[in-house]
């Protein structure tokens, strides 16, 4: 009897996890400007990875656009954001979950320099 109950539950959970892994991880640009450089590093480090904007066909992420993020695992990241005007800003401790969307807003930007 217990097998009949647990087996469908276990299969359902496994299918849900597999489905989430198939969905792309994406960042949603809710800042007021077009992003030309977006790099992630494990929180508290400066080990920034590749420019994620290169995943977009025009290599930029306009306001309200979502961008596929690759080569990241679920965790906490610091994000380096670059803009067309040469300004660079940082966003600290961003929670990234594989298969989900995370957003960046103007209020999140810190340590901006031109």
Please state the domain extents for the chain: 23-113
End-to-end CA distance of the chain, in Å?
Answer: 66
pLDDT confidence of residue 112: 98
Cα–Cα dist 77/90, whole Å: 11
Contact 50, 71 (CB under 8 A): yes
Q: Is-above-0.75 flag for pTM? A: yes
CB atoms within 10 A of CB 63: 12
| Domain 23-113 part of CATH 1.10.3470 | no
Cα–Cα dist 55/71, whole Å: 11
* Helical (H) or strand (E) element with 83: strand 75-83
User: Over the stretch 51-103, which tens digit does the pLDDT of each residue have?
Assistant: 999 999 999 999 999 999 999 999 999 999 999 999 999 999 999 999 999 99
Query: Is the pLDDT reported for residue 111 higher than 60?
Result: yes
Average pLDDT value over all residues in the chain:
89
């Amino acid at each position: 009897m217990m097998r009949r109950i647990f087996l469908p539950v276990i299969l359902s959970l496994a299918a849900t996890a597999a489905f989430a892994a198939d969905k792309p991880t994406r960042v949603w640009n809710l800042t007021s400007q077009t992003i030309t450089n977006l790099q992630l590093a494990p929180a508290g480090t400066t080990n920034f990875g590749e420019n994620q904007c290169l995943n977009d066909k025009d290599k930029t992420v306009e306001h309200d656009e979502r961008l596929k993020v690759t080569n990241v695992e679920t965790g906490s990241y610091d994000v380096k954001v670059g803009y067309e005007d040469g300004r660079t800003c940082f966003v600290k401790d961003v929670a990234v979950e594989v298969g989900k969307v995370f957003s960046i807003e103007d209020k999140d930007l810190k340590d901006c320099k031109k």
